[in-house]
Amino acid sequence: MPKEPDFIHDLNKQQKRAVRHSEGPLLIVAGAGSGKTRVLTYRIAYLIQQQKAAPNEILALTFTNKAAREMKQRIQQLIGDQAKKLWMGTFHSVFSKILRYEAERIGFTSDYSIYDMDDAKNAIKQILKEQGYDPKEVKPRIIQRRISDAKNELIKPDHYNQKFVHSTLDDITAKIYGIYVERLKQNNAMDFDDLLIKPIELFDEHEDVLEKYQDRFKYILIDEYQDTNHAQYKVTNMLANKYKNLCVVGDDAQSIYSFRGADIRNILDFKNDYEEAVKIPLEQNYRSTKAILKAADSIIKNNSQQLDKTLWTDNGMGETITVLDNYDERDEANRVADYIRDLKARKGYDYSDFAILYRTNYQSRVFEETFRRKGITYQLVGGLSFYQRKEVKDVLAYLTLLINPDDDTNLMRIINEPSRGIGNKSLSDLMAKARESNQSLWRILENVEEADVYKPAENSVKEFVAMINELKQDLASGKKLINVTKKLLERSGYMKALVEENTPKAMTRRENILELENAISYFEKNNNNPTLSAFLQEISLITDTDKYDEEKPAVTMMTVHAAKGLEFPVVFVVGLEEELFPVGSRNNEEVNIEEERRLFYVAITRAEEQLFFSHCRSRYKYGEEQRKLRSRFLDEVSSDVVRTETGSSIKQDKERFLGKKNNKDKSSSNNGNTKVEYDWKKPLYNKNNRSSNNTQIHYDNPDEDPFQVGAKVEHDVFGPGKIISRSGKGERTKVVVFFKGRGRKTLMLRVAKLQVIG
């Protein structure tokens, strides 16, 4: 056996155990920041270096293309160009590659289209119309989601009725599901879910194919195993069944994708599935401070469903976590912006060191407006993807037809884009004929003279078919993809129409198309076999995380879901209010509080050095200002490591959601509240702590001074408000208070007769 490589000495004891384990199933329980990526890459390099397997006999599955690229680069640094032969990528990319090779065995061609959610929704919308349903009443998105759930549970159309039909919507879904599956096959297309379930069908129906890939992949490694759904669980177990060299890496505390079908039981029950499996916990955290880890541990221990592990670190204690108590979402955005500018100036952080994490995408709007106004650069992860823009999808639809003209969904998208005189009546007649004859629309267009449509429309169809066939021939003859694309844009009249429109919006669309040309050109220059099919597959599998640019000098804004796997020196977790984080009503039993708590745990463990929690006392919803109740998670986090902006402990009530106390939001009324009047004669001193640009002034005992930034106060004339800044000392102490409906008021504390509403 070859000598162990030097890189093995870079690992701690548990990491070495995981890397050296080479035979049989292995469960690596990798806590946040514990170096799981290093363990995975070193394990793969070790298997190859120790000649346990050739590179092409190892299958490594990840959940983002970014993770796969980074891992392959690291392995290449360890063992050289052998790493290029690895089968490594996301579930969807790896199995779509297998399906390209084996498509004919299940009735498809190797150039099948991949439908994203928008394409799938459009196909379902067309089917609903054909079946006499109004898409405004029966939402295609809802039907699509139900079909997707069924697919991921491996429930086929003919069994859907037995499982789910309890309502009219179930009945409609069952009907549409069967037609949709047939339509996809007719269009030579698969949706994202098919990329996982079609391999299962392939392996079930063709044992020789299953055996071929079982022998090919002697070692299988899966990252983020806690996020696998039933289909992913099934297909990997099929492949691993022969050699049983299945290594799964994950953290049950970071299982946050149940809405996508992820099943935490896959990792919790791994030892039941493989009784001989070895379990190795990775508990040393290399990312965060002790304070941040203590906060994370105090949160996650409230969950009942979890594997035993305790994170620890050799890092220092670090700074305590600061809780920002805001009046509303605009106040929240302003104060987060001020903290970012202050930390950047005082501690030398770059904008790229900051992340703002929120529960839902709509929360970004107020931050975007505030940051633009204050001149803070930012990048938004999870907004509209470049490849989802209308003009880009139009051009991609044209390109798709060059390799898969039977794709009705993409054909319908661009057959009259730009307008070429094929009216809705003619198009409806042509589509009806296609359905009657059980053919694709393209086959009808090829013989349009037999379809008996309006003569001008017939001539336009013939010109369209001739154009597509000419471009197909150019592609087949070996012309460069970028040149074929440019010719397509010219012959179709698409670019000309945008130029003639001559509006700012049209010019922006034109610029996006030029950027698409850049992407195609780059793809051709950087791939050994730059086929159109490969390009379309690559861009169809891009995720939000893949679009994140960690080198961009900008504050990152994203949902907590999108932030998984990333890390930042400074993190702000905002919107920590009931009904927002955790999401849903606090009285709604359907809300999975344990998953919401895992999501909060993920948010906490993204932070390396400093962490801020932020909540609002009111927030606009449905056009009205609504009182908000602070998130229960702020009552669960260890009081040892969280402080208010003044440095005092936060008041916690760990039982307010246990049914032991009245859960009424006491902040919505003054009844029963204790009011504290300001006494300027108490001794004060300056601790030189700063929040934004304001010096914080404190009582000798900070807990005794209630008139601090963030305090809710009441004035005899202006009514209720909130202190947003404070300056001066002694009888010269001033506060700026924001009063609802009255705006900001600067008041001298000794004469203002303010009362703190406790």
Partners of 436 in the beta sheet? none
Q: Pairing between strand 189-191 and 113-115?
A: parallel
- Residue 253 assigned as binding residue: no
SS3 (DSSP) at 728? coil
Tell me how far apart the alpha carbons of residues 691 and 693 are, in angstroms, rounded to a whole number.
6
Q: Show Cβ contacts of residue 258 under 8 Å, excluding neighbours closer than 6 positions.
A: 264, 592, 595
Residue reference for tokens 């890092």: 315
- Residue 35 assigned as binding residue: yes
Out of 224, 325, 394, 407, which one is annotated catalytic?
Answer: 224
Active site residue 105: no
- Residue 434 assigned as binding residue: no
Active site residue 36: yes
Tell me how far apart the alpha carbons of residues 99 and 95 are, in angstroms, rounded to a whole number.
6
User: 450 and 434 in contact (C-beta within 8 Å)?
Assistant: no
Residue 740 buriedness (CB in 10 A; 0-12 / 13-18 / 19+) = middle
Tell me how far apart the alpha carbons of residues 114 and 118 are, in angstroms, rounded to a whole number.
11
Cα-Cα-Cα-Cα dihedral sign, residues 342, 343, 344, 348: positive
Out of 20, 37, 97, 734, which one is annotated catalytic?
Answer: 37
Tell me how far apart the alpha carbons of residues 277 and 120 are, in angstroms, rounded to a whole number.
40
Return the H-helix or E-strand segment holding 15: helix 13-20
Out of 606, 617, 630, 726, which one is annotated catalytic?
Answer: 606
- Reading phi first (left if > 0) and then psi (alpha if -120 to 50, else beta), residue 437 is in alpha
Active site residue 37: yes
- Residue 80 assigned as binding residue: no
Return the H-helix or E-strand segment holding 60: strand 58-62
Q: Show Cβ contacts of residue 403 under 8 Å, excluding neighbours closer than 6 positions.
A: 111, 472, 475, 532, 533, 536
Distances (CA, A) of 493 to 280, 328, 413, 419, 487: 61, 50, 15, 9, 10
Out of 14, 15, 16, 36, which one is annotated catalytic?
Answer: 36
Rg (C-alpha) for the chain, rounded Å, is 30
Ordered alpha helix ranges (H), 477-503: 481-492, 494-501
Distances (CA, A) of 556 to 196, 364, 497, 589: 32, 11, 36, 33
Out of 119, 223, 328, 406, which one is annotated catalytic?
Answer: 223
Cα-Cα-Cα-Cα dihedral sign, residues 418, 421, 423, 426: negative
Active site residue 409: no
Active site residue 606: yes
- Residue 36 assigned as binding residue: yes
Active site residue 485: no
- Residue 37 assigned as binding residue: yes
Return the H-helix or E-strand segment holding 746: strand 743-748
Out of 41, 90, 232, 254, which one is annotated catalytic?
Answer: 254
Residues belonging to the binding site for ATP are: 30-37
For the annotated catalytic residues, the residue numbers are 36-37, 223-224, 254, 606
What residues are designated binding site? 30-37
